[in-house]
Amino acid sequence: MTRTLTPSGDRFRSTDLTAPWRHVDTVLLGVVVLIVVTGTAMVYSATRNLAGGSGYMVRQGLFVVLGAALMVGISLIDYRRIADWWQVIYGLSLIGMAGIFTPLGAVVNGTKGWYRFGPFSLQPAEFAKLGVILAVAAYLSQSDRVDLRRLAVALGLFGVPTVMTLLQPDLGSALVFIVIALGMLVVGGVQMRHLLVLVALGLVAVLGILNSGTLDQYQKDRLTSFVTPDGQSYNVSQAQQAIGSGGLTGYGFTKGPQTRGGYVPEQETDFIFTVAGEELGFVGAGALVVLLGLMVWRVWRNAQLAGDTLGTLICVGIMSMMLFHIFENIGMTLGIMPVTGIPLPFVSYGGSSMMTSFAAVGLVQSVHMHRYA
């Protein structure tokens, strides 16, 4: 433990340089604040002309406040202590996901993946992503070598929630679990030949799902429209028109014609990036992408600085989750990725996504702040 003596009048007081609060990642925190402010402004613009538009902002403000409190609370707890409870956290995640298949579950946009509480909705798959990251990180960090047995257990931990999301059906969230698994297994030390086999099996599974009766035809069309531009959905065509019309600097905040007219469906959630493209133009939308990229980079940096394998795996899992969310969400608005309904972290409207994103950053901060403990 390193201590220094600091003069204070006639006295000297010792200062613990390893105190967690001295190691807050201020860059990550500052970037998140900027993204949240920008996202809140985009949600305001997208909902101001909707019926009950003020209600959207009240709820989004509540989500931000609760999420920020959750981030601070998690960051103050040593991530190792949190990981000690991974079995409980993972079990609760599965219980939450299983509950949606009961009469308590609600159908939203053809997917039974939500709980409804009056004006509020809760999507357990969002929180389950962090539960799985904690579980796999804690399990893989128990050994320096990932043999076939440990690989099988890790795949089982990923596989259960992935199958449950496919049954909703929610292919987008299932893809997120797969990407998280790939990132964590690569860093966790899985042999390359095993990874190649897993990737091949994953591709076969996706093709099998697309050709099965699991998804409705309109869901298949949304997922494959980016491959055949002539068959793009109305959502994507309107999104591209909104972004393209923004030009270099955009129409100005709240002045986008597509946004004001409500022509882009689900604009406050899945297609929130179209608001930035139309009203802030290439410059503003590009700045938002840079901020999101900085956030992902800081998470990766914290993975490199982590004091142990557990911390590294937690950060890598969160980085994989965020990176795929960002790439997929922005990509589908541009028509280069399938439409899956994945939110943009800290930008899209929604409590589940917002609080999960804040909790994820809280975990990363905990890894950074407690690496000397």
104 within some domain: no
219 pLDDT band, cuts 50/70/90, is low
Q: How many domains does the chain have?
A: 1
Inside any domain, residue 34: yes
pLDDT > 90? residue 274: yes
Question: pLDDT, tens digit, for every residue of 322-338?
Answer: 999 999 999 999 888 88
192-207 mean pLDDT: 75
The CA R_g of the chain, rounded to the nearest whole Å, is 22
pLDDT band at 372 (very low <50, low <70, confident <90, very high): confident
pLDDT at 235: 79
pLDDT at 13 over 50: no
d(CA 251, CA 373): 50
Rounded distance, CA 210 to CA 97, Å? Answer: 22
Assigned domain for 186 exists? yes
Residue percentage of the chain with pLDDT more than 90: 56
pLDDT score of 55 more than 50: yes
User: Quick check: 306 pLDDT over 60?
Assistant: yes
- Least-confidence region, from 127-136, 206-215, 307-316, 339-348: 206-215
Q: How many Cβ atoms from other residues are within 10 Å of residue 72's Cβ?
A: 12
pLDDT of residue 109: 75
In a domain, residue 179? The reply is: yes
Q: Residue 276 above 50 pLDDT?
A: yes
Q: Is residue 112 part of a domain?
A: no
pLDDT at 266: 86
CA distance 94 to 125: 9
CA dist 10 and 296 (Å) reads: 46
Q: Decide if 105 is inside a domain.
A: no
> pLDDT tens across 173-183, in order?
988 999 999 89
Percent of the chain with pLDDT over 70: 87
Question: 262 in a domain, yes or no?
Answer: yes
pLDDT tens, position by position, 243-258:
999 999 999 999 999 9
Domain encompassing residue 199: 25-93+126-369
The pLDDT of residue 8 is: 45
Check whether 56 has a pLDDT greater than 70: yes
pLDDT of 101 over the 60 cut: yes
Full-model pTM: 0.89
Q: b/e string for 242-258 if b means 16 or more Cβ within 10 A?
A: bbebbeeebbeeeebeb
Contacts of 288 (CB under 8 A, 6+ apart): 35, 38, 273, 276, 280, 347
Q: What is the side-by-side strand order in the sheet with 111-117?
A: 105-108, 111-117, 120-122
Instruction: Provide mean pLDDT across the span 88-106.
Output: 93
Residue (of 331, 316, 298, 365) closest to 31 by Cα position:
298
- Using 50, 70 and 90 to split pLDDT, how confident is the model at 23? confident
- Asked whether residue 300 is domain-assigned, the answer is yes
What pLDDT was estimated at residue 189?
A: 80
Pairwise CA distance, residues 194 & 149, whole Å: 12
- Residue of 115, 84, 110 lying closest to 97 (CA atoms): 115
